[in-house]
Amino acid sequence: MNEIRNILLVVDGKYNTAALVGEVTTVATDAGSQVTLLSVLDTPPGHHTLTAESVDLHQWVEEDHLKQMKEIAAKLTQGGVQVTMKQCSGKPYQEIIREAVRGDYDLIIKPSEYESRVKNILFGGTDMQLFRMCPKPIWAFKPTSNTELRKIMVAVDLLTDDPEKTALADRVLQWGKHVSGLVGAPLDVVNIWDLYGETTLRGRSVSAYTVDRLAQKEEQKHRQWLDDALAKNGLVQEEVRIHFHKGDAEKLIPDIANTMETDLLVIGTVGRTGIPGFFIGNTADSVLRQISCSVLAIKPEGFLTPVKLD
C-alpha cells in the first residue's frame, strides 16, 4: 500500500479534542503526513426562505466551527504536523466525499456521530453514507478520552475464486499491518468460515459423519486461504493473534472485537466495484451497526462513488 502522506481530518461530530489530536498527531508525524482540516456546515432547514435571523445563526455557527478548527490546528501544529484548513456548506457526506476525491487524500479521519446512546449505535447517518460511498479509506473515530491505540483488529473475507474479494482482503491486511506498525500496537486477524447449507444437510438423510467430513475439509480449505493471505501480505503468524472460527460472521466479528476491547477494527465495506450503483456488503453493514470501537473502512481499487463531484 502507499504511504499515508495526505490526511483529511473532518472536525465535525462528537469528540474529545485531546484524544483526536493525539491520534492524528501519532499517525501524521510517524507517516510524515500533511493534514487538511475540513468543517462542513449542514445546509439549514428551509434555506430557500432564509430570514435575517437565520442568516445570523448560520454565520454564528460558521464562526464557532472556525474557532474549533483553529484550536485543533494550533494543537496539531504544536505537535509538528503541517496543517491547512477548509470550510464549506452543504450535505456533509457529499462535501466530504467531494473534497476527498479532489484532494486525492490517502486517508479520511472523522469523529463518529454517536447519535444513539440509548441503542448504543456508534455511527450516525453521515458515517454510514461515507462507509458506503467514499472511495477513500475512512477512519471513523470513536468519541473517547483514550489517546492510544492499544488493540487493532483486521476482519477479512477470503474466497480465492473471487478476485475482487481477494484483492480487498489484501488491502485490508496491508492497512492493518501499516497502522499497527505506525502506533506500535499488536494486530489481531479474524476470519470466519462456515459450511454452506450445513443445516439443510443435517436435516436430510445425509449421515452426520459425511457432513462432519465436509465441514472438516471446508475448515482446512479456509485455513489454508488464511495462511496464504497472511504470508502474501508479509504477516508472520507468530507475530499476530489469529481468531479463526466457524459460524456467522455478522455475529462473531462484533462479538470478538467487543470482547477483546478492540480500539480499531479494519474492515472492507463494499461488495462490488467498477460501477456507481454499488452496495455495502451485508456483513460489513451489520458489523458496523454492532461494533463499539473505531473503524477503518477500506474500499477496493477501482471503486466509483455515485456522488457528483462538480
93 and 196 share one domain: no
What single string gives the DSSP state of each residue in 149-164?
---EEEE----TT-HH
2 and 134 share one domain: yes
pLDDT, average across residues 7-36: 84
pLDDT above 70 coverage of the chain, percent: 87
Domain count along the chain = 2
Q: For the ranges 37-41, 74-78, 194-198, 277-281, which has the lowest average pLDDT? A: 277-281
Q: For the ranges 101-110, 125-134, 204-213, 274-283, which has the lowest average pLDDT? A: 274-283
Report d(CA 81, CA 70) in Å as an integer: 14
Report d(CA 59, CA 65) in Å as an integer: 10
At what angle are helices 52-78 and 17-31 packed, to 10 degrees? 50
Q: Are 195 and 221 in contact (CB under 8 A)?
A: no
pLDDT, average across residues 260-278: 72
Q: What nine digits make up the cell of 297?
A: 473502512
Half-sphere exposure of 175 (CA within 13 A, CB side): 28
112 and 201 share one domain: no
Domain end (from 112, 147, 182): 147
Is the pLDDT assigned to residue 275 strictly greater than 50?
A: no
DSSP 3-state of 187? strand
298 and 242 share one domain: yes
Q: Are 222 and 192 in contact (CB under 8 A)?
A: no
> According to the model, what pLDDT value does residue 62 have?
84
116 and 156 share one domain: no
Domain of 232, CATH number, reads: 3.40.50.620
Task: Give the Å distances, CA to CA, from 215 to 194, 209, 220, 242, 251.
Answer: 8, 10, 9, 20, 20
137 and 199 share one domain: no
11 and 53 share one domain: yes
Domain end (from 88, 114, 147): 147
> According to the model, what pLDDT value does residue 217 have?
96
128 and 173 share one domain: no
> According to the model, what pLDDT value does residue 49 have?
55
40 and 77 share one domain: yes
pLDDT, average across residues 293-309: 89
DSSP 3-state of 35? strand
Q: State the average pLDDT for the chain.
A: 86
Domain end (from 107, 132, 147): 147
Q: Provide the terminal-to-terminal Cα distance of the chain, rounded to the nearest Å.
A: 29
Measured in whole angstroms, how far is the alpha carbon of residue 74 from the centre of its chain? 26
139 and 211 share one domain: no
Q: Are 11 and 138 in contact (CB under 8 A)?
A: no
The residue segments making up the domain with residue 217 are 149-310
285 and 165 share one domain: yes
166 and 37 share one domain: no
Q: Residue 266 phi/psi, 5° resolution?
A: -105, 125
